[in-house]
């Protein structure tokens, strides 16, 4: 190999080494920026959160529930709580009553007309009805949103039900309410819209609410 060939090879090697070093430094800078950005975003989200714990009592009959809905149904946050109360009745009490309760906070296009229901509607068994049944088959889900946790076997106090709201906001006739289950790692965002009568209806989030909750310590070792 001649002098010029060796010189060319050395130059190419130095260039490649320089490029690799530059790329590595840039990658580290990008990683640092991303990491810093994520921390900043998380911190900012935490600052923007308006965490609050709302309290209420359970309702076991349709007429009492409807009376409460006539007032609370015009508040987007309370509407989510009403849905959880309806789901509680559906999963632990009278299924038909709980279903009728739920129809008050769900949009009519997702319901079926029924003369046998006190509300005049029932849930679609392939839609919202399926989700209610899924929660009935997974009894940890609903209590995890209203005061129960894996640590106490999801026990709840009917006279002191608690719903944790991480964040909520309204833009015109649309609203978002983010709630937290004690049995799930991630928060549950719910989307609502206000109808012509001024009542909020839940359009998004019931599917996320219906997802499973963590097993209790007792269940974990029951094998």
Distance CA 212, CA 70 (A): 31
pLDDT given for residue 60 in this prediction? 85
What ranges make up the beta strands (E) of the chain?
52-56, 111-113, 121-123, 161-171, 174-180, 188-194, 200-204
Query: CA distances (Å), 96 to each of 78, 121, 131, 165, 192, in order?
Result: 22, 11, 14, 28, 24
Assigned domain for 188 exists: yes
Query: Looking at the 3D structure of the chain, how many domains does it have?
Result: 1
Whether residue 184 contacts residue 110, with contact meaning beta carbons closer than 8 Å, is answered with: no
What is the chain's mean pLDDT, rounded? 85
Residue 14: what pLDDT?
A: 53
- Using a pLDDT cut of 90, give the percent of the chain over it: 71
Digit-coded pLDDT (tens) for 149-183: 999 999 999 999 999 999 999 999 999 999 999 99
Cα–Cα distances in angstroms (integers) from residue 66 to residues 60, 71, 208, in the given order:
11, 9, 25
Q: Report if residue 61 sits inside a domain.
A: yes
pLDDT at 176: 97
Closest CA to 78 of 190, 195, 207: 190
Contact 58, 86 (CB under 8 A): no
Instruction: Encode burial over 190-199: b for 16+ CB neighbours within 10 A, e otherwise.
Output: bebbbeeeeb
Given a cut of 80, is residue 36 above it in pLDDT? no
Mean pLDDT in residue range 118-139: 97
Q: Is residue 113's pLDDT more than 60?
A: yes
The arithmetic mean of pLDDT across residues 63-88, rounded, is 98
- Say whether pLDDT at 28 is over 70: no
Distance in angstroms (rounded) separating the CA atoms of residues 139 and 49? 29
pLDDT at 1: 56
Span 46-75, average pLDDT: 86
Q: Does 141 reside within a domain?
A: yes
Residue 139 CB neighbour total at 10 angstroms: 14
- 19 assigned to some structural domain: no
pLDDT of residue 49: 55
CA distance 95 to 85: 12
Whether 192 maps to a domain, the answer reads yes
Tokens of 72: 């609370």
User: What's the pLDDT at 9?
Assistant: 54
Write phi, then psi, for 63 (nearest 5 degrees). Answer: -60, -40
Tell whether 43 is covered by a domain: no
> CB under 8 Å to 203, separation ≥6 — which residues?
107, 191, 192, 193
202, 79 in Cβ contact below 8 A? yes
Q: How far apart are CA 7 and CA 15, in angstroms?
A: 12
Is residue 38 assigned to a domain?
A: no
Report residue 194's pLDDT band, with 50, 70 and 90 as the boundaries.
very high
Q: Any idea of the CA torsion for 140, 145, 150, 156, to the nearest 10 degrees?
A: -80
- Asked if the structure places residue 59 within a domain, the reply is yes
Q: What is the pLDDT of residue 41?
A: 39
pLDDT (mean) for 97-125 = 98
Q: What is the span of the domain harbouring residue 186?
A: 52-216
């Amino acid at each position: 190999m001649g002098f010029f060939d060796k010189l060319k090879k050395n130059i190419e090697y130095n260039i490649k080494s320089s490029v690799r070093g530059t790329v590595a430094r840039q990658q580290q800078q990008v990683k640092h920026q991303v990491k810093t950005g994520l921390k900043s975003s998380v911190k900012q989200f935490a600052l923007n959160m308006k965490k609050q714990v709302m309290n209420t009592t359970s309702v076991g009959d349709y007429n009492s529930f409807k009376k409460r809905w006539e007032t609370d149904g015009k508040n987007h946050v309370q509407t989510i709580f009403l849905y959880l109360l309806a789901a509680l009745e559906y999963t632990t009490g009278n299924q038909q009553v709980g279903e009728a309760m739920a129809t008050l906070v769900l949009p009519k296009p997702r319901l079926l007309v029924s003369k046998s229901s006190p509300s005049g509607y029932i849930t679609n068994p392939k839609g919202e009805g399926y989700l209610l049944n899924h929660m009935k088959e997974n009894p940890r889900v609903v209590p995890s949103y209203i005061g129960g946790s894996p640590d106490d076997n999801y026990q709840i106090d009917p006279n002191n039900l608690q719903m944790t709201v991480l964040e909520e906001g309204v833009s015109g006739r649309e609203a978002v309410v983010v709630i937290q289950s004690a049995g799930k790692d991630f928060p549950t965002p719910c989307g609502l819209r206000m109808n012509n009568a001024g009542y909020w209806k839940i359009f998004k989030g019931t599917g996320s609410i219906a997802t499973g909750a963590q097993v209790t310590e007792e269940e974990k070792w029951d094998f």
